[in-house]
Amino acid sequence: MQLDTAHYDEFMVVSVLEDRLDAAIALDFKDAMRDLTCEAPPRVILDLSKVRFLDSSGLGAVIGAMKQLGATRKLELAGLNTAVEKVFRLTRMDSIFVIHSSLASALATRGPATAGQAHAY
């Protein structure tokens, strides 16, 4: 499970570097998100632009990652590919997330990252 994080002043970005977010790695993803975001700022942006395929297990893990953040922090999504966006749209889970068309648009008004780190799970 490859995830990259970048820390900004007011939020952090977690980029999923996996081709598939599916049943085979859903639990690992949720655990990794718990570790990476335990001291996260109020906004966490999940960059899914590398993810080509997401199934219902992957969807559940993204919802779980959001719930793990608790009531005071939010998980926002960015860079959904067509196939990934379709799963969120069909299940109407697109309405519980703020979804940005791309990471660039999510970051448009923000400064540069202060640090970047790669994590292997």
Partner 1 sequence: MHIEPIPHSAELTEERGVGNSVELRLVFPCTQANVRRALASIMAGLGAMRLSEDDSSTVELVLAEVLNNVTEHAYRDAGPGMIELHLKQGDAGLSCQVIDNGGGMPLNTPPQGSLPNPNRPLEMQPEGGFGWFLIRQLTSDLTYMRCSSSNILSFRIAVGQSVSRTVC
User: Contact positions toward partner 1, by CB under 8 A?
Assistant: 20, 22-24, 53, 55-57, 59-61, 63-64, 66-67, 71, 82-83, 86-87, 90-93, 95-96
Of 30, 49, 25, which Cα lies nearest the Cα of 100?
Answer: 49
Q: How far apart are CA 93 and CA 14, in angstroms?
A: 20
- Nearest-approach distance from CB 104 to partner 1, in angstroms: 22
Q: Nearer to partner 1 by C-beta: 6 or 40?
A: 40
Min dist. Cβ of residue 109 to partner 1 (A): 25
Choose between 27 and 113: whose C-beta lies nearer to partner 1. Answer: 27
50 Cβ neighbours under 8 A, 6+ residues apart: 15, 16, 17, 18, 19
Q: Which of residues 46 and 107 has its CB atom nearest to partner 1 in the complex? A: 46
d(CA 29, CA 119) in angstroms, rounded, equals 12
